[in-house]
């Protein structure tokens, strides 16, 4: 065997090593992507759960939410401020999830994919009025999505009556 043949075998072995390394890296990247998707979904669920528990524990906050969803403009200045922070949190969570979807973290969004109570909140008279006042606080992509997909005409747009 001459040196040229030894060099050719070494080149072949190197090429096989590079191909195996690239395959291994692709597998690792895919596994990391799946872990990141799962973590993102878990975080979205955890924040939503925390907000839901807060509403379940605080009847005044729940009453404020229902009152604001029914008629945002009827709220006092203090109530409007509190309601706006609450809605900003709820809709902000949905905006983050939408951003994650646009970056490929979620496979589906809305419908059978990632969803949120924010959708039904925005479809109420008070939620729509809040959105009209504060939508510019969100990205253009998210605003377009909300206008196109969330606020499109649908069946029920009535907010539940607030209890006294």
Cα–Cα distance between 6 and 162 in angstroms, integer? 84
Going from N- to C-terminal start, the domains of the chain cover 42-150
Cα–Cα distance between 61 and 75 in angstroms, integer? 13
pLDDT of residue 105: 67
Give alpha helix (H) positions in the chain. Answer: 3-57, 59-70, 77-102, 117-122, 125-134, 140-145
Structural tokens at position 60: 């005044």
Tell me the per-residue pLDDT of 62-110, one tens digit each, with 9 for 90 and over. Answer: 999 999 999 999 999 999 999 999 999 889 888 888 887 777 766 655 5
Q: What percent of the chain has pLDDT over 70?
A: 85
Q: Is the pTM of this model over 0.85?
A: no
């Amino acid at each position: 065997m001459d040196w040229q043949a030894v060099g050719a075998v070494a080149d072949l072995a190197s090429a096989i090593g590079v191909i195996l390394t690239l395959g291994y890296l692709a597998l690792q990247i895919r596994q990391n992507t799946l872990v990141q998707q799962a973590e993102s979904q878990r975080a979205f669920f955890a924040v939503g759960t925390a907000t839901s528990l807060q509403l379940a524990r605080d009847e005044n906050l729940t009453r404020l939410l229902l009152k604001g969803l029914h008629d945002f403009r009827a709220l006092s200045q203090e109530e409007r401020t509190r309601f706006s922070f609450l809605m900003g949190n709820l809709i902000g969570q949905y905006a983050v999830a939408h951003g994650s979807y646009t970056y490929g973290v979620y496979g589906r969004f809305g419908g059978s994919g990632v969803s949120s109570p924010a959708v039904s909140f925005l479809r109420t008279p008070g939620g729509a009025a809040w959105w009209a006042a504060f939508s510019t606080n969100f990205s253009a992509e998210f605003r377009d999505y909300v206008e196109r997909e969330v606020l499109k005409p649908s069946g029920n747009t009535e907010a539940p009556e607030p209890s006294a």
